[in-house]
Amino acid sequence: MIGLGEECALFFGYLTKKEPAEYILEAYRRAHRDAGLLPAEASGPDAALLNFASHGGWRLAAADAYARIFFPASLLRKKLILALALAENTPQGSDRFNLETDKGFFRSIVELSFLSFRFLTFLTIGVLFLYPRLNFRTRL
Amino acid sequence: MKTVVVVGSGASGVHFSLAALEKGWTVTMVDLGRRGHEPVLPDMGFEDLKTQLDDPVSYFLGRNFDSVLLPSSKGEYYGFPPNKKYVFDIPDREQIEVSGFEPLRSYAEGGLAETWTGGSYSLRDSDLTGFPISREDLAPHFAGVANEIGIAGEYDDTSRFFPSDHYLRKPVEIDAHGNYLLKRYKKARRRINKLDRAVIGRSHTAVLSSDHEDRKGCTLSGRCLWGCPVKALYTPSITLSKLKKHERFTYLDGMLANWLEIDNDGKAVALDVTNVVTGGKERIEAQRFVLAGGTLSSSRIFLDTWRLWKGESPRLGGLMDNRQIIMPFVTLAMLGKRCETRNYQYHQLMMVLEGKSEEEMIHCQVTTLKSAQYHAIIQSAPMDLLGAMKLFRLTRTSLGLVNINLHDTPRDDSYVTIKPGNSGEVSKLSVVYVPEENEAEKIRIAKRRVKSVLRRLGCIVPPGMTRLRPMGASVHYAGTLPMSADRRPLAVDKECRSYDIENLFIADGSTFCRLPAKNLTFTLMANARRIGMTAF
């Protein structure tokens, strides 16, 4: 398991390709510790999913896709949504939500198709790697 | 000296008071009067605030992150921002138990309409079926209120449903998505009019496109939901500020109204209130009393008055609210378009679908997505969060919401009553709402018909994302002390004077005999003004 600061940097970087400012790291910690929005410690399948995602890269993308379909209220997904909300409302991330120039209809359709393909690929990987682990832990 | 006490500073209370002052009465308004903060950086747009505020996270998400919408939370696409939470801050003693109803209540200056979206739709005679008043009685007061608050709109295909007697002002500049939908409508008009029995036009909204008195025209800051920084979007607190300057007007804030004291002749002699600062009780005497705190609040005060006067707690049947359905849509032709950061956030288009009868009419407000808390929308996309975020970026300018409003009629099985409260003072309000038997079928038909119109406009409705809002969410509560031409208990006459207590008037939605599929607030203001002008 990794600390909250490291976790924030990982999730924020995954969503925005940027490093979070100290202000964002502090807000992420505050949401867990002071505001009690999310528990600082995870257990059971939540911990297993977070542990898998904490390696970053393809494992985080696979855990993200898996959680959307099979574990939508998981702690991983909540933490990612918190990172998304922080990105949306801070100077470091808010520009990631706007298109500054027209992309055009056909280019958008191509990109949408790619996004769907990417999702299905990572979902398949997620099922292969995570379903046995989480199912086994849940049964235990 | 003619004296009247008004309970509540919302849409009804302020417009009644304005009229009563004009008629020479001395007005005392009793209110708890919770207040919000002044808008931050009023010259900045919504997106600019994210880069210019010292602490944008607290401003947009709240100090305790209350406005972060997580998958398990029960939020909506447009949740209330942290700086508007004060509007819904309810005193502990105001207890309520509910069944089938999820009400919003307010003790703020300006009441619930401090968070309204400005939809201002007048009623026709056919909307007033069952009322002892007609469109003719209300028309001068629709115009009077419209002149006071400023209502923007256009005379178009929708005008026959919302007669406006030339009071409409120039609307705020429409955004590119809205403009595209209007153009598509013009091309497909014949088919939409004939096959869907639908019309589309500009919304009627209480927002200024140019300066009026001390309010500025809309600056397209995109901050409507966060509180218009230039007061272009009307809220009742604007009128309250005006009232406070009048020499015959007294605003008593920090007061919770308990009940009316009734004498042996059946007349109200004083309003019993609790001062929330001292905790002590006070009496406020007047010749007349007006309940204008909203249907639930007025019903509770009336029922507690009745309990102390008659020793019983009757049911007030006929509780109504407009059922609302939220239908997101995607306009394919707007995919991949650049975002405009300057915008008016709320709905700029409306759609009306005629039915075989008035009760089958459907009224929709069409909002194209502009500023909002995007994480609430992104997480609902059926893919991983990173993919959903990219998807949102590509589709953002093509997204929209239709807010579908259905009518409601009074029924005895939907009612409010009171039960003994824990505080030992005022009672606990009990609210029961039972939908019409055929409601599920009405909802199914409404969804099908709206989808059909959207298809003709080149929009698709993503499967599984249409949401039925709970009863109570539209905040168009009405009907518990209805107007009646015949003298009967627990009702009011055509001037909204109680048949039971002759110097008591009810100036809010409690007196409505039915609820057309239209936003109620403008009619509340017009009716309150009518009471002030004709009965005082």
Displacement of CA B226 from its chain's centroid (Å): 16
Nearest CA in chain B to A84: B375
Provide CATH code, domain B1-39+104-116+235-316+477-536: 3.50.50.60
Nearest chain B residue to A14, by CA:
B386
DSSP H helix total and E strand total for chain B: 11, 19
Domain positions in chain B are 1-39+104-116+235-316+477-536, 151-233+324-405+436-470
Contact B85, B62 (CB under 8 A): yes
Does residue A73 carry a pLDDT above 50?
yes
Q: What is the pLDDT of residue B356?
A: 85
Cβ-based neighbour number of residue A40 at 10 Å: 11
Tell me what ipTM this predicted complex has: 0.95
Q: What is the mean pLDDT of residues B497-520?
A: 96
Cα separation, B368 vs B77, in Å, equals 12
Give the pLDDT of residue A86.
97
By three-state DSSP, how is residue B388 classified? helix
At B76-98, the pLDDT tens digits run 666 788 889 999 999 988 899 99
Name the band, by pLDDT with cuts 50, 70 and 90, for residue B99.
very high
Mutate to test the interface with A, among B53, B68, B390 (most CBs of A within 10 A): B68
Q: How confident is the model at residue A40 (pLDDT cuts 50, 70, 90)?
A: confident
- Distance between CA atoms of B436 and B394, rounded to whole angstroms? 41
Domain boundaries, chain A: 4-139
pLDDT at B358 over 60: yes
pLDDT at residue number A140: 46
Say whether B378 and A84 touch across the interface (CB within 8 A).
Answer: yes
Angle made by CA atoms B308, B313, B315, in degrees to the nearest 5:
145
pLDDT over 90, % of chain B: 88
| A66, A99, A114, A122, best to mutate vs chain B, most B CBs in 10 Å | A99
pLDDT in tens, B315-350: 999 999 999 999 999 999 999 999 888 899 999 999
CA distance B77 to B225: 12
Token pair recorded at residue A79? 């933490």
Mutation to test the B interface, candidates A14, A28, A97, A130, most B Cβ within 10 Å? A97
Answer whether residue B486 shows pLDDT above 60: yes
Instruction: Give the tens place of pLDDT for each residue, B396-439.
Output: 999 999 999 999 999 999 999 999 876 667 899 999 999 999 99
Query: A138 pLDDT exceeds 80?
Result: no
Distance CA A39, CA B377 (A): 24
Residue pair B79/B69 in contact (Cβ under 8 Å)? The answer is yes
Q: Is residue B305's pLDDT more than 90?
A: yes
| DSSP tag of B408 | B
Between positions 22 and 61 of A, the ones with CB within 8 A of B are 23-24, 27, 30-31, 35, 37-38, 61
Helix (H, G, I), strand (E, B) or coil at B283: strand
pLDDT class of B498 with cuts at 50, 70, 90: very high
Q: Does B389 touch chain A (CB under 8 A)?
A: yes
Q: Do B336 and A105 touch (CB under 8 A)?
A: yes
CA distance B148 to B239: 9
> Given CB atoms, is A118 within the 8 Å cutoff of chain B?
yes
Size of interface A-B (CB pairs under 8 A): 143
Segment B116-148, tens digit of pLDDT: 999 999 999 999 999 999 999 999 999 999 999
How far is the C-alpha of B289 from the C-alpha of B27, rounded, in Å?
10
Q: How far apart are CA A75 and CA A50, in angstroms?
A: 8
Check if B160 contacts A (Cβ < 8 Å).
Answer: no
What would the mean pLDDT of B470-490 be, rounded to a whole number? 95
- The band of A53, judged by pLDDT with boundaries at 50, 70 and 90, is very high
pLDDT at A42 (0 to 100): 81
Quick one: pLDDT at residue A1?
67
Assign residue B505 a region (left: φ > 0; alpha: ψ between -120 and 50; beta: otherwise): beta
Rounded Cα distance, B215 and B278, in Å: 36
**Residue B515: band (very low, low, confident or very high) from pLDDT cuts 50, 70, 90:** very high
Mean pLDDT of A65-88: 95
Give the distance, in angstroms, between the CA of residue B116 and the centroid of all CA atoms in the same chain. Answer: 5
Under an 8 A CB cutoff, do A90 and B57 touch?
yes
Residue A81 pLDDT > 80, yes or no? yes
Nearest to B123 by CA among B132, B113, B135: B135
Q: Binning pLDDT at 50, 70 and 90, where does residue A136 land?
A: low
Confidence category of residue A125, pLDDT binned at 50, 70, 90:
very high
For the segment B244-274, what is each residue's pLDDT rounded down to a tens digit?
A: 999 999 999 999 999 999 999 999 999 999 9
Work out the pLDDT band at A132, boundaries 50, 70, 90: confident
Average pLDDT over residues B300-314: 95
Q: What integer pLDDT is reported at residue B76 of this predicted model?
A: 64
Please list, in sequence order, all residues whose beta carbon lies within 8 angstroms of the beta carbon of residue B496, skipping any fewer than 6 positions away: B483, B505, B506, B507, B511, B527, B531, B535
Spatial contact of B152 and B170, defined as CB atoms under 8 Å apart: yes
The bridge status of strand B288-291 relative to strand B3-7 is parallel
Mean pLDDT of chain B: 94
Which tokens in the block code for residue B207?
A: 């927002």
